[in-house]
Structure 1
Amino acid sequence: MNEQSQKLMVGPDEPISNQEAGFLGLQHVLAMDVYVPPVIIAGLLAMGLDAKAGLIQATFLAAGIGTILQTKFFMKMPVSQGPSFVPIGAIAGIYFASGAKDGGMATVIGASIVGSILLILLGVTGLFQKIINSLVPQVVGGTIITIVGLSLMPSALGDNIFKAQGNINENLLLAVVTVAILILCVSLGIYFPKLQKLFKVSSIIIALLGGTVLATMLGKFDWQSVNEASWFSLPSFTAFHYGMHFSMTAIMTFVIIYAVLMTETTGTWFAMSAVTDSPISKKQWNHGIIGEGISCLIAALLGGSPVTGYATNAGIISITGVASKKVFVSAGIWFIIFGFFNKLAAFLSAIPAPVIGGIFAIICSTIMLNGLNVIRTLHTQERDMYIIGIPIILCIAIIIMPQSLVKATPQMIQYLLESPISICALAAIILNLILPRDRQIAFN
């Protein structure tokens, strides 16, 4: 057993009571950030409060169903499904290029359905494990996770804080105070081990509540929308509400997006394997991608965005020490319960962007460091420095690229440029294939 797995409070197959599993599962859900991507997507698409709450509701339901499917039946590892950050830019690009409110979401859903079916076929035919062995070794998976965190940092700081509506000074105050509460909670959990379960595990939700209190004091929280929301409701903004439209350009874009999601997921599985000291078998690879495809299909039908093995999940396990599969099934059940809890969706949709931005920035850094931790465990070669470095350079270049240059490219390229992760992931895969292997070097 490695050093990391020895630090776990609850191992993957460790027997625990139903009551304890339920409590730990709830804590794990509260420590996650599955509500952040739908909030960001809703902001980019200028959704109304009802549609925004519907997207959050769909996200919780898809996360819950996907988590149970992967942990109990397919991947059979402590894997929590959640909305991926990878497709955010491409979703916005396709939405506005396809008529926005007049059919944009239908085009996104149609492309997502086709992509999810392709994932299922890859797993059923057994091709996925062969593809992973040749195209996505650990260095590529770690690089992609690093890029996910790096590429989303400008959105966390720019769109949610500096460019958000309202007074810039108040926006900065909300973000800084929210982050300060998060750091305080983590510190208290470290300094007082007996309070670890309270502060470290629930640090994100405590920080959000603290930011919400300050936002209320500043008059920036819309409590009216929360009060008017019903307590429980069935999903209403589903694929049957938006409809389904199949555009070849959007589908091809999503095929690439799903290819990147596969690499993101495998990178997360690599990290989870390391954290829990549980090797992944060939059978698990193929079964895992079937579960991934089914989860994404369910998410699309519910009107949500594609889900993946959550990038922050391995980091959360490292913080909380909770890796029990029974706990993860419990977490999935909690997600489903919250999916029907409309008042919670309304509350989350009303949280001001700067509060989300502060948490989102910390999450981005956590994702990036998770990727670097995956890479750090490798005996790297000189070629790996380029496999890691060039995608990072590309990521920064795409982020700062002038919009005039982006708009001069073909429509499909524009979709991809809205999602730097796609291009950078492809670059890492291609570099891994073409660069010759050389002597091993130390990478510390």
Structure 2
Amino acid sequence: MDTNDKNYRNPDAVLDIYDKPPLGSWFILSLQHLFSMFGSTVLVPLLVGLDPSIALFSSGVGTILHILITKRRIPAYMSSSFSFIVPSIALMKTVGFPAVAQGTIAVGAVYLIVALLVGFVGYGWIDKALPPIVVGPIVIVIGLALAGSAATDSTMNNGTYDLKFFGIAMFTLITTVFFNMYLKGFLSNIAILLGIISGYLLSVILGVVNFSKVASSPWFALPSFEIPFINYTPHTIYWGAILSFAPLAFVTMAEHLGHIMVLDELTHRNFFKDPGLHRTLAGDGTASIVAGLLGGPPITSYGENIGVMAVNKIYSVYVIIGAAVFAAVFGFVGKLSALIQTVPGPVIGGISFVLFGVIASNGLKILIDNKVDFSQKRNLMIGSVILVIGIGNAMLQIGSFQFSGIGVATIFGIALNLILPKEARSEEKE
């Protein structure tokens, strides 16, 4: 049976893409996804100087739009992208939000243009450009590229090593692994959420959590939306912002391709074929345009949520939709939003060790399942280059233009795969 057929069911899945969980477990599983992505989602606007509540709301709306555009076939969560932090901070200091908004909308427009081109050309080129020897190492890089960030969250308190932070992170990690391995049924499926709660409770006991913002936040708080012609009137076109943001769309596209590869592997589907890469790109682009119109940062797919699915094998789009609805609603509930923001760095770091590690392990699984032979020099060269450039984050930066290590590694991997011969001269039989 065609694995993209709606009647196909992944035998490895606890809940497959079209499975709808019972209401009670649905609620908890969606909350688990919300907690997993929340830290990164609100961190981006805090660094840039935007309203975190808008980012939370636009992530929920953007995710729902992406799921609708991809015909409810891809369980992907969309939220704040880190790729645009540097130009966003610069623009907020010099010009203000209208410039950031135009740049964000430009990113979405680039996605839509590329989606149209892919729609005409088709997806056949993907199999040639992205064989297992390229896909496997890229997926490993996606999992490990943020390993340093997870370690920093787990050990550093305002730039100083904190043994208490390390203890909280390791406790969060150990409890998550314990819950995943020793609990049964539904409790095993929410091991990540239980690990976060355990780490949070320990943080409260050790005095790491600060509840002052929760006490001062109102129950209902309307996000400070920045909607053109309603909250402000754009008086000019900021070409500098557009030109600094638009090229970075290709960076997040490279990461987007990697995320789709991981989801293909997890769900036993070919999303490049159905619903098609043009739809996944259009979903990303539409999400960014909506975020720009609301006052949020550019949007992209999130590895944290893919990590959750890799751990619990629950790929239901309904669970992702539930998380999106929670995110949109919590954007208006001041105390709940503030409470989630009190989850300390070491808890996020501890859980990230699991989430990012599982993604990387799936990259290894791709190589093993496809019996990639590393005794061949061609495979050794391609895999080695991708891994070191990506994990080392050998970024390309020219002025405000910054191409991430993942993006550079992806381009080098594709190029080497297309250029290198099947055998090195030393391997040729005479």
Q: What corresponds to 1:169 in structure 2?
A: 163
Indicate yes or no: 2:308 matched with 1:316: yes
Indicate yes or no: 2:11 matched with 1:11: no
Q: Match of 2:10, SS?
A: helix
Q: What corresponds to 1:209 in structure 2?
A: 197
Say which is worse superposed, 109-118 or 237-246, in terms of deviation. 237-246
Q: Is the 8 A contact 1:75 1:291 kept in 2?
A: no
Indicate yes or no: 2:76 matched with 1:80: yes
Q: What corresponds to 2:359 in structure 1?
A: 367
**Equivalences for 1:375-390 in 2 at 5 Å?**
375-378=367-370, 380=372, 382=376, 383-390=378-385
Take 1:246 and 1:156, find their aligned partners in 2: how far apart are those partners? 39
Q: Is the 8 A contact 1:105 1:242 kept in 2?
A: no
Residue 325 of structure 1 and its aligned partner are, at CA, apart by: 3.6
Q: What corresponds to 1:180 in structure 2?
A: 174
Residue 391 of structure 1 and its aligned partner are, at CA, apart by: 2.1
Say which of 262, 278, 287 aligns to 1:271. Answer: 262
Amino acid in the other structure paired with 1:93 = V
Residue 115 of structure 1 and its aligned partner are, at CA, apart by: 1.4
User: Alpha carbons of 1:412 and 1:181: their partners in 2 closer, same or farther (altered >3 Å)?
Assistant: same
Q: Is the 8 A contact 1:66 1:80 kept in 2?
A: no
Say which is worse superposed, 160-169 or 222-231, in terms of deviation. 160-169
Say which of 27, 30, 39 aligns to 2:29. Answer: 27
Q: Is the 8 A contact 2:145 2:406 kept in 1?
A: yes
Question: Which digits, 9 at most, give the CA deviation of each residue in 1:121-163, with x for residues without a partner?
Answer: 2223425745645644555444333222222111221255235
Residue 259 of structure 1 and its aligned partner are, at CA, apart by: 1.9
Q: What corresponds to 1:219 in structure 2?
A: 207
User: Alpha carbons of 1:374 and 1:227: their partners in 2 closer, same or farther (altered >3 Å)?
Assistant: farther
User: Alpha carbons of 1:177 and 1:433: their partners in 2 closer, same or farther (altered >3 Å)?
Assistant: same
Say which of 31, 40, 44 aligns to 1:41. Answer: 44
Question: Which digits, 9 at most, give the CA deviation of each residue in 1:226-264, with x for residues without a partner?
Answer: 111122322216466799897667655544432232233
Amino acid in the other structure paired with 2:147 = M
Residue 287 of structure 1 and its aligned partner are, at CA, apart by: 1.9
User: Alpha carbons of 1:9 and 1:167: their partners in 2 closer, same or farther (altered >3 Å)?
Assistant: closer
Q: Percent identity?
A: 23
**Equivalences for 1:42-441 in 2 at 5 Å?**
44=47, 54-55=51-52, 57-83=53-79, 87-88=81-82, 90-98=83-91, 101-103=93-95, 107-125=99-117, 126-127=119-120, 129-130=122-123, 132=126, 135-137=129-131, 139-158=133-152, 161-162=155-156, 164=158, 168-189=162-183, 193=184, 196-198=185-187, 200-236=188-224, 238=226, 251=242, 254-280=245-271, 281=273, 284-378=276-370, 380=372, 382=376, 383-398=378-393, 410-412=398-400, 415-416=402-403, 419-438=404-423
Take 1:83 and 1:422, find their aligned partners in 2: how far apart are those partners? 19
Take 2:340 and 2:419, find their aligned partners in 1: how far apart are those partners? 46
Instruction: Tell me the TM-score normalised to structure 1 length.
Output: 0.77
Amino acid in the other structure paired with 1:219 = G
Residue 360 of structure 1 and its aligned partner are, at CA, apart by: 2.6
Take 1:242 and 1:393, find their aligned partners in 2: how far apart are those partners? 46
Q: Is the 8 A contact 1:109 1:239 kept in 2?
A: no
Residue 312 of structure 1 and its aligned partner are, at CA, apart by: 4.4
Aligned-pair RMSD on alpha carbons?
3.7
Q: Match of 1:308, SS?
A: strand
User: Alpha carbons of 1:423 and 1:250: their partners in 2 closer, same or farther (altered >3 Å)?
Assistant: farther
Take 1:108 and 1:386, find their aligned partners in 2: how far apart are those partners? 40
Residue 300 of structure 1 and its aligned partner are, at CA, apart by: 3.2
Take 2:287 and 2:388, find their aligned partners in 1: how far apart are those partners? 32
> Which runs of no fewer than 5 residues in structure 2 stay unpaired?
none
User: Alpha carbons of 1:108 and 1:231: their partners in 2 closer, same or farther (altered >3 Å)?
Assistant: same
Take 1:58 and 1:342, find their aligned partners in 2: how far apart are those partners? 12
User: Alpha carbons of 1:83 and 1:437: their partners in 2 closer, same or farther (altered >3 Å)?
Assistant: farther
Q: Is the 8 A contact 2:137 2:364 kept in 1?
A: yes
User: Alpha carbons of 1:165 and 1:344: their partners in 2 closer, same or farther (altered >3 Å)?
Assistant: farther
Q: Is the 8 A contact 1:96 1:104 kept in 2?
A: no
Residue 24 of structure 1 and its aligned partner are, at CA, apart by: 2.0
Q: Is the 8 A contact 2:303 2:356 kept in 1?
A: no
Take 1:239 and 1:140, find their aligned partners in 2: how far apart are those partners? 42
Question: Which digits, 9 at most, give the CA deviation of each residue in 1:153-205, with x for residues without a partner?
Answer: 1122125523535661222222222222222222232xxx2xx312x333333
Q: Is the 8 A contact 1:140 1:388 kept in 2?
A: yes
> Which runs of no fewer than 5 residues in structure 1 stay unpaired?
none
Take 2:65 and 2:25, find their aligned partners in 1: how far apart are those partners? 20
Take 2:238 and 2:422, find their aligned partners in 1: how far apart are those partners? 41
Residue 225 of structure 1 and its aligned partner are, at CA, apart by: 0.5
Instruction: Tell me the TM-score normalised to structure 2 length.
Output: 0.80
Amino acid in the other structure paired with 1:122 = V
Q: Is the 8 A contact 2:87 2:245 kept in 1?
A: no
Q: Match of 1:35, SS?
A: helix
User: Alpha carbons of 1:326 and 1:352: their partners in 2 closer, same or farther (altered >3 Å)?
Assistant: closer
Residue 390 of structure 1 and its aligned partner are, at CA, apart by: 0.3
